[in-house]
Amino acid sequence: MAMRSMFRRRRKVCSFCHSKDGSIDYRKVNVLHHYIDTRARIKNRRRTGVCAKHQRVLSKAIKRAREMALLPYK
């Protein structure tokens, strides 16, 4: 019980809501690269801390970048 109160988890804040230039575009490969893992799968919201609205836009942008051969399918 003492360990539980010692370690407080910090709430993750959506990086796209928080930043001024929070636009998600399929051409920004360096941004999209942070949201796929080593096997080229899209990371889930719990891991990345992105809100639901931006997760939907993000997954569409990743899929579009894959179609354009900017990101791998693996």
The per-residue pLDDT string of the chain (74 residues; one tens digit each, 9 = 90 and over) reads: 556 667 777 778 898 998 888 789 999 999 999 999 999 999 999 999 999 999 999 999 999 999 999 999 98
Domains identified in the chain, total number = 1
**Is 6 within a domain?**
no
Report if residue 22 sits inside a domain: yes
Looking at the domain assignment, is residue 55 inside a domain? yes
The total of other beta-carbon atoms located within 10 Å of residue 51's CB is 16
Residue 57 falls within a domain, yes or no? yes
State which residues form the domain around 25.
15-67
Q: What is the CATH number of the domain that holds 25?
A: 4.10.640.10
